Chain A
Amino acid sequence: GQNIDQPTEMTATEGAIVQINCTYQTSGFNGLFWYQQHAGEAPTFLSYNVLDGLEEKGRFSSFLSRSKGYSYLLLKELQMKDSASYLCAVTDSNYQLIWGAGTKLIIKP
């Protein structure tokens, strides 16, 4: 079966750095997405990785290792507004998106 694993919840301190991990087992791979979802709102796109390595976008970076079936989202200089759920999603060989259950990130002052 197809499976994406993320931690259910993480807590971090304002101004710090946090890494959210995602491991996946899918039938084929055509890219990995990270989305942010604030409570009561729709998911919004953060990043896309299709090749191995690190993609940096401001305070957010995303890393991919296809051989390990592993990705992480790195958030630097955490702000209170970063409190949200972070969803990992993988595109499989049929170009269907497989979603993880999401990681709820709690930022404390």
Chain B
Amino acid sequence: IAGITQAPTSQILAAGRRMTLRCTQDMRHNAMYWYRQDLGLGLRLIHYSNTAGTTGKGEVPDGYSVSRANTDDFPLTLASAVPSQTSVYFCASSDSEGATEAFFGQGTRLTVV
């Protein structure tokens, strides 16, 4: 692993199903983020974690949950997927929240049908 890795890269999901998007980084960064990116809206923060064991809500947290059991992993769970959650999801990490450059995973393209 080099940098930050997301899985899966793409997924088609039936509405109502539960889904976990995985994110792992090997840079020992304290802060991690989940964004969704929709055409014309830019990146919107879903949830974040400033350090292992803590999480916080971003701009659009409804329908999503996260956990940060250790420094490296930051999974995002959709409890019951809806079509409006169709988007490209990016996980990112930075050495400290907001003050240093963020490194992004390659993204997960999720389609909820």
Residues in A lying within 8 Å of B, measured CB to CB: 8, 30-31, 33, 41-45, 48, 87, 89, 91-92, 94-97, 99-102
Please provide the 10 A-B residue pairs with the shortest distance between their CB atoms, ordered closest to farther: A95-B98, A101-B42, A42-B104, A91-B98, A45-B101, A99-B43, A95-B97, A99-B42, A43-B104, A97-B98
- By CB atoms of chain B within 10 A, which of A41, A42, A48, A100 has the most? A42
21 inter-chain pairs at a CB distance below 8 angstroms, sorted by A residue, are A8-B40, A42-B105, A43-B102, A43-B104, A44-B104, A45-B101, A45-B103, A87-B42, A87-B43, A89-B43, A91-B98, A92-B98, A95-B96, A95-B99, A96-B58, A96-B97, A96-B98, A97-B45, A97-B98, A100-B42, A101-B41
A33–B101 contact, CB under 8 A? yes
Query: Could you give, for residues 42-56 of chain B, a 1 whenever the CB lies within 8 Å of some chain A CB and a 0 otherwise?
Result: 111100100000000
Residues in B lying within 8 Å of A, measured CB to CB: 33, 35, 40-45, 48, 58, 90, 96-99, 101-107
A41–B98 contact, CB under 8 A? no
For residue B96, which residues in chain A have a CB less than 8 angstroms away from its CB?
A: 95
B10 to chain A, nearest CB (A): 11
Task: Give Cα A85–Cα B35 distance, bound, in whole angstroms.
Answer: 17
- Give B48's nearest chain A residue, CB to CB: A96
Interface residues of A, dominant DSSP? loop
For residue B101, which residues in chain A have a CB less than 8 angstroms away from its CB?
A: 33, 45, 48
For residue A33, which residues in chain B have a CB less than 8 angstroms away from its CB?
A: 101-102
For residue B48, which residues in chain A have a CB less than 8 angstroms away from its CB?
A: 96
For residue A95, which residues in chain B have a CB less than 8 angstroms away from its CB?
A: 96-99
The answer to whether residues A99 and B44 also contact, given A42-B90, A43-B90 and a CB cut-off of 8 A, is yes
- Give A90's nearest chain B residue, CB to CB: B98
A41–B106 contact, CB under 8 A? yes
Task: Give Cα A44–Cα B105 distance, bound, in whole angstroms.
Answer: 10
B38 to chain A, nearest CB (A): 10
Task: Give Cα A44–Cα B102 distance, bound, in whole angstroms.
Answer: 8
